[in-house]
Amino acid sequence: MKLSVILACALSCGCIALELCNNEASLQLKRRRKRALTFPKGSAFVMTMSMVKSIQLRVPANWNLDIEFDVIWPLPVGLSALPRKPTTTTTTRRPAPVRWRPVDVYWEPHRRHRRELYANFELALDSQGIPGKRCIMHAICEAKLVLNPPGLSLVEDVLRVIFSYPASLNATSDHYDRAYHHRSDCDSTYPCPFSLLHLLLNYNNGGDE
């Protein structure tokens, strides 16, 4: 009888000790590798800045100029896109002095993008019964004559970028080139019912329009 009681007490104490050991083991924190958040292919972070400027005209009324800038950062799609800690140390040296040399043409003006943008403007003006191509070419022609020098106005700087048509060494000349380099009377060469630049900049020629 005494032997059975002692054996039962020993078994119960052993079970309690084993349970306590298991609980202590579960409270220990295990180390794990660093984790990274990835996104589906093609994901990007977009920051948009919008600026609205009212156009002070009697007819049509309640017109606003809306200018938006989108800055896009592509997001990593895998671990290979994440920056790694350099394995070797690099030493920086003082660069050699740069001497004059002809600069190679490593960029191409966005002429095709401008033509697509002009085509959209022309369709929008044509839908309102306004000769779109002539008005756009009129704006390109007078861009260098109407706009102030760079740095004085953000709106004018944006309009200068839109309506400037830089030359290209590899592309052939087109009608937008002729309008951009035209220096005579833009009103007679490209007749338009109104000036787009004057409209956007709230310029009034001799009174209210």
Question: What pLDDT is recorded for position 91?
Answer: 65
Question: What pLDDT is recorded for position 4?
Answer: 53
Question: What pLDDT is recorded for position 208?
Answer: 43
Global pTM value: 0.48
Backbone φ and ψ of 147, nearest 5°: -75, 145
Question: What pLDDT is recorded for position 117?
Answer: 82
> Per-residue DSSP letters for 146-171?
HSPPTTS-HHHHHHHHHH-----SSS
pLDDT in tens, 95-133: 666 665 554 444 455 677 788 888 888 888 888 888 889
For the chain, state the CA radius of gyration: 35
Region 76-97: mean pLDDT is 64
Q: Which of 198, 200, 197 is nearest to 64 (CA)?
A: 200
Question: What pLDDT is recorded for position 104?
Answer: 47
- The confidence band for 93, taking pLDDT boundaries of 50, 70 and 90, is confident
pLDDT in tens, 147-177: 888 888 888 888 888 888 877 666 667 788 8
Q: What is the rounded CA–CA span in Å between residue 86 and residue 151?
A: 41
133 compared with 209, residue with greater pLDDT: 133
- Coil vs helix vs strand at 124: helix
Contact predicate 140/179, CB 8 Å: yes
pLDDT in tens, 17-65: 444 444 445 556 666 666 667 778 888 888 787 878 777 666 566 777 7
Question: What pLDDT is recorded for position 53?
Answer: 76
Helix pair 154-163, 132-146: axis angle to 10 deg: 130
Question: What pLDDT is recorded for position 126?
Answer: 87
Question: What pLDDT is recorded for position 17?
Answer: 47
Tell me 79's DSSP state. Answer: G
Q: What is the rounded CA–CA span in Å between residue 8 and residue 13?
A: 9
Angle at 145 between CA 140 and CA 148, to 5 degrees: 105
Question: What pLDDT is recorded for position 108?
Answer: 53
Contact predicate 43/77, CB 8 Å: yes
pLDDT in tens, 188-208: 888 888 888 888 787 544 444
